[in-house]
Amino acid sequence: MMRATSRQTCQLWLILLSFGAAMAPLGCVSDAAYADESGVSYWLPGRFSSLAAAPAVPGWSMAEVYYHTSISAFGATAAAREIRLGGIPRTVNVSLDLHLNAQADLLLLNPTYTFATPLLGGQFAIGVTGLFGRSSAGLNGTLMAGIGPFGATRSGSIGDSITSIGDLYPQATLKWNTGVHNFMTYVTGDIPVGAYDPNRLANLGIGRGAIDGGGGYTYFNPQAGHEFSAVVGLTYNFKNNDTQYQNGIDFHFDWGASQFLSKQVFVGLVGYAYQQITDDAGQHPILGGFRSRVLGVGPQVGFLFPVRDMQGYLNLKGYGEFAAANRPAGWNTWLTFSI
């Protein structure tokens, strides 16, 4: 490596310190949970599964979801976090050998009102999801930066965690039933009011708005106990004004298949596919288009039971992720209780 002048050396170390200051021992949903900016998408894969398009009982309902995820990432996905934290200039050549680990434990609350009067021949419902929880993340590795023929290297680690509230996610659905066939259309989005700081490694908000819409189908035969559901959708992401970064358009496909063992108990499989279909804008050139992808599949078990004069529902499902690109991957579990 060529020897830099004192001024050039100072510039290099200022660059390294600007994105390495955090390299001392130190984002329906969570920055640490999940290319997209820093590998974080608005859509939380697994949000829909079995009975997604089945009609509901008119009136108020409340769903509580405990969500846990444990993920990791290497290469560009981990590097994207460090590039965001340090504000590395687009004109600086960087090489990053980094490893990201993250966990999140979230409680999601989803009150929904289902109207008894049909709308366009279907069942209309509106609701909103809010969340509270904790996310943590750690980043370690080696960063190298260069200006022309001169370069410098820095190694270290970052750790960060946060316990707070997340964004709000309003949703409206319209469902139709014809015998064993059920159809649904929906629209939802992100209101960015959660805890978010572009200078943090872990967040519970994503720092930008988003709108998402799609449709779904559920086949449910009560006599045979067979059930299959599938929901597809697209997400449009608005620009993050704090970072001047805009995610590309995302495609997602969630599905669930189950067999009722009795009128109250069912078992089955769940899965999802997530693919970004257009490039991000505003990212560092080292990241390229930074389109993200991930697949997930796992088991589920569900219980239906009466709660006085109401209907109760309990579901446990889990996903193992694979074939990830430009996105953290690992495993996650969902425990849902609804009345």
Asked whether residue 75 is assigned to any structural domain, the reply reads yes
User: Is 136:202 a contact under the CB 8 Å cutoff?
Assistant: yes
In whole angstroms, how far apart are CA 147 and each of 19, 97, 201?
A: 15, 19, 26
* β-strands 293-307, 265-276 pairing: antiparallel
Q: Over the stretch 16-28, which tens digit does the pLDDT of each residue have?
A: 333 333 333 223 4
> Distances from the Cα of 157 to the Cαs of 95, 138, 152, 174, in angstroms?
16, 7, 17, 48
On whether residue 284 sits in a domain, the answer given is: yes
Residue 115 · residue 122 · CB < 8 Å: no
Asked if residue 289 is part of any domain, the answer here is: yes
Residue 1 lies in a domain: no
Residue 211: what pLDDT?
A: 97
Residue type, 151: G
* pLDDT of res. 201: 79
Closest to 214 measured CA to CA, from 263, 256, 251: 251
Report the distance separating Cα 110 and Cα 32, nearest Å: 21
Q: At what angle do helices 75-86 and 6-20 cross, to 10 degrees?
A: 110
The residue segments making up the domain with residue 81 are: 6-338
CATH of the domain at 263: 2.40.128
Closest by CA to 114, choosing from 55, 65, 169, is 55
Give per-residue pLDDT as tens, 248-282. 899 999 999 999 999 899 999 999 999 999 988 87
Q: Enumerate residue ranges in the chain where pLDDT < 50.
A: 1-35, 78-79, 81-83, 85-94
Closest CA to 55 of 171, 170, 178: 178
Give the per-residue pLDDT at 329. Answer: 84
Per-residue pLDDT at 283:
63
How many domains, in total, are found in the chain?
A: 1
- Per-residue b or e along 173-184, where b marks 16 or more CB atoms closer than 10 Å to that residue's CB: bbbbbeeeebeb
Distance CA 78, CA 96 (A): 9
Q: For tokens 């045979």, name the residue.
A: 224
Burial class (CB in 10 A: 0-12, 13-18, 19+), 82: buried
Q: Model's pTM, two decimal places? A: 0.79
| Residue 269, CA distances (Å) to 53, 90, 296 in order | 17, 44, 11
Non-local (6+) Cβ contacts of 224 within 8 A are none
**Six-digit token pair at 283?**
């990212």
The rounded distance, in Å, linking the Cα atoms of 255 and 215 is 12
The Cβ-side half-sphere exposure at 204, using a 13 Å CA radius, reads: 22
Residue 36 lies in a domain: yes
For residue 229, count other CB atoms closer than 10 A to its CB: 25
